[in-house]
């Protein structure tokens, strides 16, 4: 990954964006500390997307078939005096 000092990244923002699209994420530093990353929308969406949906997660759970009772009582509550 390329590193850019903040001042340089500001003055060459078009180049930072071009490099992010062509070469991958670009790290911007401030006072020598890695602060932010510039990356393509495609890369961001790939990283932000869940690995699988919730239904698939439960279907692939190692507890599937473990015999856990998930049934709930049909408790209707209690009588309340008015």
In the chain, the domains with their CATH numbers are 2-59 (3.40.1620.10)
Whether residue 39 is predicted with pLDDT greater than 90 in this model: the reply is: yes
Residue pair 4/19 in contact by the 8 Å Cβ criterion:
no
According to DSSP, the residues that pair with 29 across neighbouring strands are 5, 34
Tokens, residue 79: 């009588």
Q: What is the pLDDT of residue 29?
A: 98
Please give the Cα distance from 73 to 1 (Å, whole number).
56
pLDDT, tens digit (0-9, with 9 covering 90-100), for 8-24: 999 999 999 999 999 99
Task: Return the higher-pLDDT residue of 30 and 72.
Answer: 30
Residue pair 60/52 in contact by the 8 Å Cβ criterion:
yes
pLDDT, tens digit (0-9, with 9 covering 90-100), for 55-77: 888 788 888 888 888 788 888 88
What average pLDDT does the structure give for the chain?
90
């Amino acid at each position: 990954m390329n590193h850019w000092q903040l001042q340089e990244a500001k003055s060459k923002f078009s180049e930072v964006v071009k490099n992010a699209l062509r070469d991958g994420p670009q790290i911007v530093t401030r006072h020598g500390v890695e602060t932010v990353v510039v990356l393509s929308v495609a890369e961001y969406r790939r990283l932000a997307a869940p690995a699988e949906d919730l239904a698939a997660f439960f279907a692939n759970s190692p507890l599937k078939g473990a015999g856990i009772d998930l049934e709930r009582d049909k408790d209707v509550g209690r009588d309340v005096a008015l």
